[in-house]
Chain A
Amino acid sequence: MLAINNIEVVYDRVILVLKGVSIDVREGAITTLLGANGAGKTTTLKAISGVLHGERGEVTKGTIQLGEHRIDGMRAHDVTGLGLVQVFEGRRVFEHLTTEENLIAGGHVQREGAVVKQGIDLVYSYFPRLRERRHQQSGYLSGGEQQMLAIGRALMSKPKVVLLDEPSLGLAPMLVEEIFGIVDRLVRQENLSVLLVEQNATMALGVADHGYVMENGRIVLEGPADKLRDNSDIKEFYLGLNEGGTRKSYRDTKHYKRRKRWLS
């Protein structure tokens, strides 16, 4: 569905951030992209969705293919029109708009008002809580509701591919569970393809079919999600378990992590 082929991203014409990243997002499945802070996960998503231009970043090598369209170098609003949408890290709802106005703005690529109305109803059916808050200014919604709104808003453009950037950020574990459950349902019922960036590796590998691990602007590991879950390095760094499967002290992990890198 979405194929990222060996891309390089340069900021400000000099800073090389992504050094040849290839990712394949399969249709109707969740693919996850894991990695530490600053590994380049978010940059990868921005490169795909096209918002990199506004940040003086540029895809200098490689290709990004969405279905039959080549989308690297395209402007963000055109990419969204082709059926790919990004849900930003930290929710980023339009704070001064109401919940419903956020959804209307999300459906901007739809020509007809009737389609937007249907879209709003669909979003409310997946996130009933948003219906209760429909006329409230979205800046005052709770964190969980804002995350639901950010996902719902993205759905308004009737996307085929959704890039989800850290939907678990700053949310209570129960809410994370709820949101992941809904995402999982969306993927199955609406035939979405999702590229999920996460710090919460347990959660991500639980719902994903396939995973990639990124470090320092490169993909260092990839495989089916269940294989990755059994990988000893992943266990060590992301799941916080030691060889025997028991919990490790965070202090040890942190200490060890400082020393060991896959690439150095």
Chain B
Amino acid sequence: MSEDLEFAFALILNGASIGLMYSLIALGFVLVYKATDAINFAQGEFVMLAGLIVAVVLGFEGAPLIAAIVIVVAVMIGFGFGLERVVLRPLLGRPVVAVIMATIGLAAMLRGLGPVIFGSETRAVSLPIGDEPIVLGPASLPPVQVLGAVVAILFFLAFSWFFKKSRMGVAMRAVADNQQVAQAMGINVERYFALAWAMAGVVSALGGVVWGSMLGVDVHLALVGLKVFPVVILGGLDSIGGALVGGLIIGIVESLAAGYLDPYVGGGTKDFAPYVLMILVLMIRPYGIFGKRKIERV
């Protein structure tokens, strides 16, 4: 392989693994949108909260990682249920904008309360997977990226099965399609809303572990949430597969931009390339690659 090709390959592989980690966070967003039609602007803050909890638990001498993961998953499930009950249920039947504003408010609150409660220093989440890069041909990846990619793929498979094959998953899609009719079919709509938020909590918990381990945990961890928007707009707001593919594409574009454009402009293209792509997609396919189209019968 020529050196150029090797460079490109390394960039793509690196981008793909980061992209899958974006997918993981985007999954949380998609789950909520799919079931409740709510756009969750606090997804990044969910991840930050989860990261903080993991870091704090691991801060205790001798606390095993598995305990930290169990605790953070449990807390995030509780957080999801609580959030639905306290903040979102009263907004049921109100315009979507009300829910969006509520999540924006929630995001600001979490960003403010996080440091107040847990302190503002950057904490480390060390996973027992070593720092030795995993070498794949010309590319070498940090182990945490590989772990993140694997977790994302596992979640993707699990949720695909859930929505396609399980009765609960079908019911959840029915709720997303038409709340009133779903209710009349005997489906407890509010329970499914709560379930969706709890599922987003679980995804965020794992997202917090891998992203926290990669970037370190402080308020800035919430910024990964911003990457969710190009990913889900590219893939489709309500598509599990779209989150995966969107994440991959965004990750790869980012990595290629950093590799090829940065030397000419002096850096920073990585941060805006995804949004340029997002705007292009919005012009061509406003519902994303896999998003559901509005069905019109003539």
Which residues from chain A sit less than 8 Å from chain B, CB to CB?
49-51, 54-56, 75-77, 80-81, 85-86, 88, 92, 94-97, 101-102, 104-109, 113, 116, 137, 139-140, 143, 153-154, 156-157
Q: Are B173 and A81 in contact (CB under 8 A)?
A: no
Partner of B183, one of A54, A101, A143: A54
| Cα-based distance from A104 to B172 in the complex (angstroms) | 11
Q: Taking the nearest CB of chain B, how far is it from the CB of A142, in angstroms?
A: 8
Known: A54-B93, A54-B179, A105-B174. A96 touches B295 (CB 8 A): yes
Cβ–Cβ < 8 Å partners of B92 in chain A: 54
CA distance A140 to B298 in the complex (A): 10
- Other than the known A108-B187, A116-B167, A143-B297, what 13 A-B pairs have Cβ atoms closer than 8 Å? A77-B185, A80-B184, A88-B181, A92-B178, A92-B181, A97-B173, A97-B174, A101-B174, A105-B170, A105-B171, A108-B167, A108-B174, A157-B185
With both chains docked as a complex, state the minimum distance between the C-beta of B92 and any C-beta of chain A, in angstroms.
8
CB distance from A37 to the nearest CB of B (A): 20
Return B179 CB to nearest CB of chain A, in Å.
7
Contact B183 A108 (CB under 8 A): no
How many A-B contacts are there with CB distance less than 8 Å? Answer: 92
Residue of B nearest to A106 (CB): B185
Asked whether A101 lies within 8 Å of B184 as measured between CB atoms, the reply is no
Instruction: Kindly state whether residue B292 has any CB partner on chain A within 8 Å.
Output: yes
Q: How far is the CA of A50 from the CA of B185 in the complex (A)?
A: 11
State whether A140 touches B295 (Cβ < 8 A).
yes
A153 partner residues in chain B, CB cutoff 8 A: 185
Q: Which of B167, B174, B188 has the most CB of A within 10 A?
A: B174
Judging by beta carbons under 8 Å apart, are A94 and B183 in contact? no
- Interface size range of chain B in the complex: 20 to 34
CB-based contact B173/A77 at 8 Å: no
B121 → A minimal CB distance (Å): 47
Asked if B183 and A85 make an inter-chain contact with CB atoms under 8 angstroms apart, the answer reads: no
Residues from chain A with Cβ under 8 Å of B297 in the complex:
139-140, 143
Q: Which residue of B lies closest to A80 (CB)?
A: B186
The answer to whether A85 touches B93, judged by C-beta atoms less than 8 angstroms apart, is: no
| Pairwise interchain contact A88-B177, C-beta atoms closer than 8 A | no
Please name all residues of chain B whose beta carbon is closer than 8 Å to the beta carbon of A85 when the two chains form the complex.
Answer: 184-186
B176, chain A: closest CB distance, angstroms: 8
Q: B4 → chain A, closest Cβ, in Å?
A: 45
- 29 A–B contacts from the bound complex (CB under 8 Å): A49-B184, A50-B184, A51-B183, A54-B93, A55-B180, A56-B93, A77-B183, A77-B185, A77-B186, A77-B188, A80-B184, A86-B184, A88-B180, A88-B184, A94-B173, A94-B177, A94-B181, A95-B177, A96-B295, A97-B173, A97-B177, A105-B173, A105-B182, A105-B185, A108-B187, A109-B185, A116-B167, A139-B297, A156-B185
Q: How far is the CA of A116 from the CA of B171 in the complex (A)?
A: 13
Contact A81 B181 (CB under 8 A): no
